Amino acid sequence: MTKMQSDRSCLAIILAAGEGTRMKSRQPKVLHEVGGRSLLAHALAAVAEAGADTVVVVIGPDRPDVASEVRALLPSAAIAIQAERRGTAHAVLAAREALSGKHDDILVAFADTPLIRPQTLLGLRQALAEGASVAALGFEAQDPAGYGRFVTRDGELVAIVEHKDATEAQRAIRLCNAGLMALDGRQALSILEAIGSANAQGEFYLTDAVGVARERGLKAVALQAAESEVQGVNDRAQLAAAEADFQRRKRLEAMKQGATLIAPETVFFSFDTRLGQDVLVEPNVVFGPGVTVADGAVIHAFSHLEGADVGPGATVGPYGRLRPGAKLGANAKVGNFVEIKAADIGEGAKVSHLTYIGDASVGADANIGAGTITCNYDGFFKYKTTIGAGAFVGSNSALVAPVTIGDRAIIGSGSVITKDVPADALAIGRGRQIEREGWAKTFRDKAMAKKSAAKKTPE
Ligand code: UD1
Ligand code: CA
């Protein structure tokens, strides 16, 4: 998706200081993955696509793992440490330095809410452009328990009341706070500093920005999103629920763009999977990160692809495995029980059955027979195999790398090839066949005679 345009500058603050104890994990919650990338990466991508030009990620103390993920994903992002967990407003204020009034819009997003769409964040920014000082995102909760409630009057947002602080009447409100908020950049710091901690949890609530703004005669508005978009991840079950919704979204996207998924519910995508038009994906296919499939390609059932590029009209599987660096040219064929790793398969080349091609290049229209193996690894180093255009490798051959097979060369079936083969040559590297006329008959006659003699003599 391309970055969306707005002439207003935007600072995004991502709160990632969560403890995540309910994940029961050695890993911090925000580094758990949905669709092949971390929850934090989803949040960073969403704010970037919503036009944030400056990003600050607020993390907890002693979290070098989260800090290095931030640096790897978005080197320009600043990292702020919230030394003590004293509430969401307190967390935003950890990014105080960035809140100097330079930005028109301040977006606050939670790192554990991975399905938020950039359009929704842009909606919050739009509300600021239209004169609101605070824009909060809400949703109709199936089960509102635990969430902050939106108190509205005449279509305006009057307050957000945390569940623990809410009256019975307020608890009956279904419109809940998703947690994401946009604040006017000129007033944000002063609003945040005015927030107190006189509440049930003794915390500084970001949600109180609404009340503070109203007291100052400023406008606060509520926007609404679907619950599935704003669902947070606090435990493994919610992680799986987020994954399921992410997958539903990706499947629909692929079909909208012209791919056929015969059984969409059995196809799994990564955040960056790209399928062209008229791609056919059969049931039970997994796309790991980094896969591009060009127009008209077919991915047969039970295939697993990762870091791979499939050319136009190429076919993979059933039971194909493309590992990182696999690149299939136009109309190339990778058949059943074939594994390709770090290898270019040329246009129209065929690798049809039971084969491993690793660290290799296969020329256009080459034919690799069943059971061929590139022996690319000696236990210490990896070596390259080069197979020329139009070459024919007989079945069950072992190509011991480094080795080059020239264009149009033929390799006899069952060969172990350890030396380069010139173009147009025949190479055979196997035990020579011998025939002994009548040998089988003689052997059989002798054996049968011995057997019947043994039967006549009782032991
Ligand atoms: C928050 C909202 C609530 C909303 C709910 C939606 C507040 C006061 N409440 O409640 O209205 O319905 O989210 O899920 O904002 N965090 C920090 N530092 C802190 C506290 C929180 O970084 O000191 C981060 C957390 O890591 C998390 C986010 O802020 O990413 C929300 O914090 P959490 O404690 O889960 O808030 P809730 O009580 O769920
Ligand atoms: Ca929460």
How does DSSP assign 365-397, residue by residue? T-EE-TT-EEE-B-SS-B--EEE-TT-EE-TT-
**pLDDT score at 6:** 73
In ligand 1, the atom with minimum distance to the C-alpha of 176 is: 12
Q: Annotated binding residue at 383? A: no
**pLDDT score at 3:** 56
Angle between helices 118-129 and 39-49 (to 10 degrees): 40
Predicted model pTM: 0.93
DSSP state of 100: S
Domain boundaries, the chain: 3-224, 242-427
CB-ligand 1 contact for 18 (6 Å cutoff): yes
Q: Annotated binding residue at 367? A: yes
What are the structure tokens assigned to 346, written together?
């040329």
Candidates 81, 105, 102, 74; CA nearest to 180 is 105
Q: In this structure, which topology does domain 3-224 adopt according to CATH? A: Spore Coat Polysaccharide Biosynthesis Protein SpsA; Chain A (3.90.550)
| Residue segments in the chain with a per-residue pLDDT below the cut of 50 | 1-2
What is the 207 CA–ligand 1 centroid distance (Å)? 9
Task: For residue 443, count other CB atoms closer than 10 A to its CB.
Answer: 11
CB-ligand 1 contact for 163 (6 Å cutoff): no
**pLDDT score at 201:** 94
List, in order, residues 6 or more apart from 362 with CB less than 8 Å away: 343, 344, 345, 346, 349, 351, 368, 387
Q: How far is CA 289 from the centre of its chain?
A: 5
**pLDDT score at 82:** 97
**Which residues does the annotation mark as catalytic?**
353
Q: In this structure, which topology does domain 242-427 adopt according to CATH? A: UDP N-Acetylglucosamine Acyltransferase; domain 1 (2.160.10)
Rg (alpha carbons) of the chain, rounded to whole number? 31
CB-ligand 1 contact for 309 (6 Å cutoff): no
Angle between helices 39-49 and 64-73 (to 10 degrees): 40
**pLDDT score at 457:** 76
In ligand 1, the atom with minimum distance to the C-alpha of 58 is: 22
